[in-house]
Structure 1
Amino acid sequence: MTYLTMGVEEEFVLVDDASRAPVDRAPEVIASAAPVLGKQVQNEFFNAQIETMTLPTASCRDLRDELVWLRSAIGAAARRARCHPVATGTPAVPPTQPLTITDNERYRRMAQRFASRFSTLDGLVCGCHVHVGTLDRELALALSRRMAPWLPVLQAITANSPFARRGDTGFASWRSVEYAKWPTVGPAPALDEPRYLAHVAELVRTGMLLDRRMVYWHARPSEHVPTLEIRIADSNADVDTVVILASLVRALATTLLVDEEVGKPMPRTPLRRLLLAHELAARYGLSGYGVDPCTGAVRPGAELVDRLVDRVLPTLEFTGDTARVLRQLRGIRVHGVGAARQRAVFRRQGRLSDVVDALARLTARG
């Protein structure tokens, strides 16, 4: 069995100490954190966001330790700038004024060309992306096809953005709705490497994309490291949710890599069924129904988590992650996914500021 490595990219929104609203202080926070973190902290599309990146590792314990260290370092830098990093898919409190775009050439061109795809008032979204490797592009594309039916289950587990525009959206992951406004967001098409290169080149040539880095499929070959990148999760304040996401992504990729290597036939899931599965995951998290990756039937979300665990259990045993994953999933069953926990905080006093404070504390605690 192949021992794949894991890496995580986490996006955070910077919220003001007093207003709890997003604030454009990323340049100041990054400059303060960079002497400690170097290139492991970077800017994002809005100046109210920052992103951290772990190094590749094969150990969940090491991954967790690094995530906590990164959060601690950016938290200290943010406090010096009178703000806090918050891990959530969408801000619970909207900005008090339009946000500004990060001042680099690529983001300026994106903002100009795709101005209709986002709003500077309520278009900020934060995701958590998992890389598994080492994989060449052809193998990453093959795995993206095999993993597609299972990704809505992971999306449901990590749903953490119920609030936007000062209200409850009715979704567990409103980030999924906002993010889908950008081009190419969605399930990866079935392409081998030559067709992938030709397809993406055509999208860039016709102006549909700015460059190959704008391929925003739920699972894509990374353009800067030899990995498969999974892009379906909201940012989560609970660091252990991030760790089990990475562990499950790695276990699923490893399990399906064996199927690919032996040439096991791959079930074909119609695109309309995949889109329904992602819509149900975004709306309900694990509190409603989802689409069974094996049969296509609509089943309770909690049952689909059990099916995923059963599918990857031999790999979890191989990597030594079984106890950690099962313990965290038990906690999610009891307390709900991140969206349910945000709503529980809001119900106590009816204040979105309390939601932001709870998220900030949990993000910092690691």
Structure 2
Amino acid sequence: MRTFGVEEELLLVDGVTGSPRALAPDILDRFGRGDGAGFSLEAEMQQEMIEVVSSPCTERGELLRFMRAGRRTADGLAQDRGAHAVAIAGSPMPVRPHVTTRRRYQAIAEGYAGMARTTLECGFHVHVGIADPEEGVAILNRIRAWLPVLLALSANSPFRDGEDTGYASFRFVAWHHWPTAGPIDVFADAAAYRAFEQELVATGAILDTGMLYFDARLSHSHQTVEVRIADVCLTAEDGAALACMVRALVDQAADDWRGGVAPLPASTAAIRLASWTAARHGMRDRLVDPLTGTARPASAVVDRMLAWAGPALRRHGDEEAVRHALRAIAHRGTGADRQWSVYARTGSVTQVVLDAARVSRESGITRL
């Protein structure tokens, strides 16, 4: 089995007001080197967020344990300061973030000015092991059209600056202000992909390849494909299911490559529009079917994805669990739908944040 792991970015918020708090340095000081329980805590660009990084694993249950332990630890350390670590992909409350005092982040903040200083978006990144960069690029070529479906399933950021944006994932909109974010083209081989990276770095508009924020990319730190398009999921259970879906897409793409199956012919511009559609509506409306390039009901497109990656899901023993989880999201709604529901009931953005804190905290303990 391919190894996989996740990086979950959590928002640090006050336990009473729901407003973001710059607590990451304090939490990381107290966490130290950690306890080796399958995860680590890492700094992110803003001090109002913290990243939980799971160790590589092969089983869904193991990944879920690591994710729960990381969430539980981050939230416990935040609670010591009257706060919570919340699995929500953008702050519903107004905030002016504080850039982490590391040289790299300070350089990014200086170079990108107001855009960098106001970015506070929490994503969900899935790393899946690959044999080599050649296989990795072949995989990127064949999963690119499916990535908007993952965004729709994970959508968890409808509020910003105290207002309803009307988007299920406004994080997607805000994050894609960064000039290197978004989908990428099909590449002939790994050499062509690396040449593309170097072409972008050579412009001087970015510091290095670490600032290539593609929706999916080859990692420069690990021998993995890194899928970055998703919002952080409200529950660890949904996140683990999404990670299993990503691994199955990667494995199926590798099988197709070895079998001589060409990538889907979707253009980069069409994929960008499919992603916008997913960000706007989540699972509430239609999504673009990667196999036809046309809009269909969201649940039907999810079923199409499950069918396409079905052989890999079965090989990993994940088919039943992932099928049940993704169809449950389609039925009950995403994290964004829950936020909208809480706001409709309470009329309070603060209550939206505190409800998300409760749900994400409970998912760090046991299945809801």
Provide the TM-score with structure 2 as the length reference: 0.94
CA apart distance, 1:81:
2.1
Q: Tell me, which stretches of 5 or more residues in structure 1 are unaligned?
A: none
Matched residue, 1:282: 279
Does residue 157 of the first structure (1) align with residue 153 of the second (2)?
yes
Counterpart in the other structure of 2:293: 296
Q: Equivalent residues in 2 for 1:344-355 (5 A)?
A: 344-355=341-352
Could you tell me which of 259, 263, 269 is aligned with 2:266? 269
The answer to whether structure 1 residue 185 and structure 2 residue 181 are counterparts is yes
- Residue 21 of structure 1 aligns to a residue whose secondary structure is coil
Gaps of 5+ in 2: 364-368
**Equivalents in 1 of 2:281, 2:252: separation in Å?**
27
Specify the code of the residue in structure 1 equivalent to 2:6. V
Match of 2:166 in 1: 170
In the alignment of these two chains, the number of paired residues is: 360
Q: How does 1:217-256 map to 2 (within 5 A)?
A: 217-256=214-253
Percent of matched pairs sharing the same residue: 36
- Change over 3 Å in CA distance of 1:190–1:326 after alignment to 2: closer
- Cα distance, 1:267 vs. partner? 2.4
4+ residue runs over 3 A deviation: none
User: Which deviates further from its counterpart, 346-355 or 168-177?
Assistant: 346-355
Give per-residue Cα distances to partners, 1:114-145, cap 9 Å, x unaligned: 1143443xx31000000000332222111111
The one-letter code matched in structure 1 to 2:55 is: L
Q: Do the aligned partners of 1:135 and 1:228 also contact (CA within 8 Å) in 2? A: no
Among 132, 135, 139, the residue aligned to 1:139: 135
Matches of 2:131 and 2:156, distance apart in 1: 29
Distance 1:195 1:329, change over 3 A: closer
Cα contact 1:37–1:73 (8 A) shared by 2: no
In the other structure, the counterpart of 1:314 is 311
Report the alpha carbon displacement of residue 365 of structure 1 after superposing the two structures with TM: 1.3
Which of 19, 22, 25 does residue 20 from structure 2 map onto? 22
Give the whole-Å Cα distance in 2 for the aligned partners of 1:72 and 1:169.
30
Between stretches 278-287 and 78-87, larger displacement belongs to 78-87
Note the 1:33-112 alignment, pairs <5 A: 33-37=31-35, 40-95=40-95, 98-112=96-110
Classify the secondary structure of the residue corresponding to 1:36. coil
Q: SS of 2:78's equivalent?
A: helix
1:35 CA displacement: 4.2
Residues 117-132 of structure 1 mapped to structure 2, 5 A cutoff? 117-120=115-118, 123-132=119-128
Cα shift at 1:149: 0.7
Does the 8 Å contact 2:168/2:336 carry over to 1?
Answer: yes
Counterpart mapping for 1:177-216 below 5 A: 177-191=173-187, 192-216=189-213
Measure the CA separation in 2 of the matches of 1:262 and 1:311: 15
d(CA) in 1 for partners of 2:106 and 2:131?
32
Q: Distance in 2 between matches of 1:265 and 1:127?
A: 30
Q: For 2:16 and 2:295, how far apart are their aligned partners in 1? A: 45
TM-score relative to the length of structure 1: 0.95
